[in-house]
Structure 1
Amino acid sequence: MARSKPSTANPSADAAAMLRRVGFALLFFAIPVAALFARRAVVIVAPVAVVLLLLAVFLDGGSRSPVQKLLAVIFSPAGLAGCVLLFWAALSLLWTPFAAEASERLLNIVAMAFIALAGYLAIPDRMRSANLYILPVGVGMAALMSMVALFREGSAVGQDGQSLDRGMILLVLLLWPAMTWLHSRGRNLEALLLAVIVALGSLFTTDALALQALSVGAVAFVVTALVPVAGARLTALLMGGLLLLAPALPFLLHPLAFELLGPHSNLVSSLGVWRHVILDEPQRLITGHGLETALRGRIFNLLPAAAPSSLLFEIWYELGLVGAVAGATLLYSAAVASGGERPVLGPGIMAAFATAFALGCLGVGTAQIWWLTALIVVVLIFVAIERGQFRTTRPKAILRPVH
């Protein structure tokens, strides 16, 4: 009588696989779709997804050498620059006029940093392709739904359109990892179709911010695709250089904007305010005014309402030279090192960097928690894509003669 084979089922591994699948479905599918109709969807869904991925790791030990990975991130040039930026932001609580609000903002930033590190460690060393293919499906469906919502009355979009605009901003960020994954698998036609759908969705929104940032990202994508090493370094240098030399911009651009747009232009007013802020308190270029002062200063009339809503202005106004140098170092180091050993991912990564930086410069609320969470989601997705690149070509079968 033949004996039945012993069961090899592993309940822990099965449960971990299910939790991991749900976690990635939340990151890749639920976030882009839900962000169109719920203002804080990304803030709620992303931590839940990370928790599910962490539970999967505890069940099957899917992450190897977590301590070494963590130390490698922290002691990298970008990691050290980020630590300096956080330390200086914490130190600025001593001179900010809004200590309570700034402390809450700093705690939120630190919490987001821990979520990012936890998510990075929770992503398995080898990603299944089936999980990653959820991403372009989610991005494409969200873009189609955004166009339907724009032309249909009574949609779930708020009356001010902010949910849809915020959702489209998230979509133009998620487009690049989705395209990168499809391109890495040789599905270039599908990647192009996805880009067209998202571009059309951003074109029909009331705010041109998403389309403008998408255009900047497209330029970075093309340049990096043509000259990978030079394109990556050029993108990194432009981002870091603009942030580092930002105080010179109002003096260089104000006369030109005045001649081209006239004295009543919003851009002219913003540049004028920025120039007066520098001339009135030049010593503040070193220390800054402290965390949370750019936003709260407008509310309490410490800063003119026409002041620029831009990353370039806010980081200098709040954290001064030290914060700007740390931020520029962080941007440059992260962008240069992000290509790694996978050149096929380089154009998409540089496009995502350029798009996010353009959004920050053009006025997206970089201090808001949803924006920080959105950036973390994009980073985690790129990490997952990089870990899904093992064995991108099938091994060739070798026929050997039988003796």
Structure 2
Amino acid sequence: MVRPAFRTANPSADAAAMLRRLGFAILFFAVPLAALFTRRALVVMAPLAVILLVLASVLDGSARHAREKLAALMTSTGGMAGLVLLSWAALSLVWTPFLAEASERLFNITGMILMGLGGYLAVPERMRSANLYLLPVGVGLAALISIPLALEGGSRFDPDGLSLERGMLMLVLLFWPALAWLHSRGRNLEAIGLALAVAVSSLLTQGGLPLYGLAAGAIVFVLTAVSAGLGARLTGLVMAGLLLLAPLVPFLAKPLAIALFGAKAPVTASIEVWRQIILGEPLRLLTGHGLETALRGRFVGLVPPNAPSTLLFEVWYELGLVGAVAGSILLYQAAIRAKNHRSTVAPSIMAAFACAYALGCLGIGTAQVWWFTALVVLVLIFVAIDRGQFRTTRPKAILRNKL
């Protein structure tokens, strides 16, 4: 009598599967929900999730060819531009007037980059659908919960509404990978329902930033869906061009701002401050004033209080021409590489790029740790979704009659 063969128990593989499941549950489900109630949820939960994923990959040995992947990433055009940008930010510590604060910020940025690399290597080459379906469930539930919170202006845990605002910004970022996953699995009806829920919650949120970011992403999503190559190149050119030519903005936009908002409007005054800064110190456009000066300088009189709080101004004021050129190359390379992904995923990737960039240009605190963490989480989620596209249809069962 032949005994049936049983699968040998593998405690390491079982433990790795449990840790990976828990890590993705935190990243996909817990983060968008908790971000609505507490501002520190993202910076605490995201590193914890990445640590669990790294432990899981160590236990089951799924992180293969890590050295080759890192080498390919670092030697790419975008990777080298990122290294130049980080190195120039580190060199700017020599002339920044806020050495301690700038060093802390550089340390946080480096930590976020290392966390992202660790998570990138720890995500398995083939993602299980059961793990990825946690993302649209978490985003959809967060969108439904945010609607009454937006009507009330916050919760009892967040009376000033700051956590709700950050949670909504996180929600509009995570909406795009959730949409990509649902669309790639043919669940378009659920994707439309999720889009409506996120749009309603963004519309009800005070300030309008989530809605503006969602609108920018929607425009790029449609453009890339029509033509992936055109959408990627055009979006990359717009993002890189705006950053590279940002010093021209206060000179070109001032007449338009006066015509639209009036000479005494805050927007017009902010543009005039930017213009005076450029005219007062034109040589500083080459080197910048050093890391952390755009934020800290407002408190000591180095920067006028009504100076622009936008990504375009901060990059040029702190890192100058070198930082702007490196950042532009990085943005363009990241955008054009998105067209190489599947047609079901590429439009959402470009929409997320446009959404994040629009939020940065509209004045979100891009220097804060939670924003860097949000971007790292967004990239890791898209990596996971891309690695879940190895099979898009269920295999058909074939019945054969045995004679």
Query: 1:343 Cα shift?
Result: 2.5
- 2:38 matched to which residue of 1? 38
Deviates more, 1:358-367 or 1:66-75: 66-75
Identical amino acids, percent of aligned pairs: 64
CA contact (8 A) 2:232 2:338 kept: no
Contact 1:339 1:349 (8 Å CA) reproduced: no
Unaligned runs of 5+ in 2: none
Whether 2:255 is the aligned partner of 1:255: answer yes
Contact 2:289–2:319 at 8 Å: present in 1 too? yes
1:132 corresponds in structure 2 to 132
CA contact (8 A) 1:31 1:45 kept: yes
Q: In the alignment, what sits opposite 1:275? A: 275
Say if 1:39 and 1:166, in contact at 8 Å, map to a contact too. Answer: yes
Shift of 1:393: 2.6
1:259 Cα deviation from its structure 2 partner = 2.2
CA distance in 1, matches of 2:144, 2:67: 42
Contact 1:36 1:157 (C-alpha < 8 Å) held by counterparts: no
Question: What's the offset of the Cα at 1:72?
Answer: 1.2
**1:151 Cα deviation after fit:** 3.7
Counterpart of 2:390 in structure 1: which amino acid?
F
Structure 1 match to 2:323: 323
CA distance in 2, matches of 1:120, 1:154: 34
1:149, 1:157 within 8 Å by CA — same for their partners in 2?
no
Instruction: Give a deviation string over 1:212-253, Cα, whole Å, max 9, x none.
Output: 111000000001001111011111110000000010010000
- State how far apart, in whole Å, the 2-side matches of 1:150 and 1:334 are: 34
Q: Is contact 2:154–2:161 with CA below 8 Å preserved after alignment?
A: no
What does residue range 182-201 of structure 1 map to in structure 2 within 5 Å?
Answer: 182-201=182-201
For 1:24, the equivalent position in structure 2 comes to: 24
Deviation of 1:5 (Å): 4.1
Contact 1:236 1:331 in 2 (8 A): yes
Report the equivalent of 1:215: 215
Unaligned runs of 5+ in 1: none
Q: Aligned partner of 2:264: which letter?
A: H
Check whether the contact 1:202–1:210 (CA below 8 A) recurs between aligned residues. yes
Contact 2:228 2:339 in 1 (8 A): no
Q: Deviations over 1:185-213 (max 9, x none)?
A: 11111111101101111111112111011
Partner of 1:206: 206
Given the superposition, is the C-alpha separation of residues 286 and 201 from structure 1 closer, same or farther in structure 2, using an over 3 Å criterion?
same
Q: CA deviation at 1:157?
A: 4.5
Alignment of 1:235-384 (within 5 A): 235-384=235-384
**Equivalenced residues, count:** 403
Instruction: Using the TM superposition, give the Cα deviation of residue 364 of structure 1 relative to its aligned residue in structure 2, in angstroms.
Output: 0.5
Equivalent-residue separation in structure 2 for 1:301 and 1:235 (angstroms): 37
The SS at the match of 2:254 is: helix
CA distance in 1, matches of 2:107, 2:41: 20
Counterparts of 2:76 and 2:181, CA distance in 1: 26
**What does 1:8-87 align with in structure 2 at a 5 Å threshold?**
8-87=8-87
Distance 1:67 1:147 in 2: 45
Q: Specify the code of the residue in structure 2 equivalent to 1:207.
A: G
TM-score where L is the length of structure 2: 0.97
Superposed displacement of residue 401, structure 1: 10
CA distance 1:156–1:137, change in 2 (3 Å): farther
Secondary structure, in 3 states, of the residue corresponding to 2:100?
helix
Residues 286-345 of structure 1: per-residue CA shift (max 9 Å, x gap): 000000000001011111111000000000000000000000000000111133242221
The two structures, once aligned, show a CA RMSD in angstroms of 1.7
CA distance in 2, matches of 1:7, 1:229: 47
Give 3-state SS (helix, strand or coil) of 2:344's partner. helix
Decide whether aligned partners of structure 1 residues 229 and 150 sit closer, same or farther in structure 2, where only a CA change above 3 A counts.
same
Residue of structure 1 equivalent to 2:232:
232
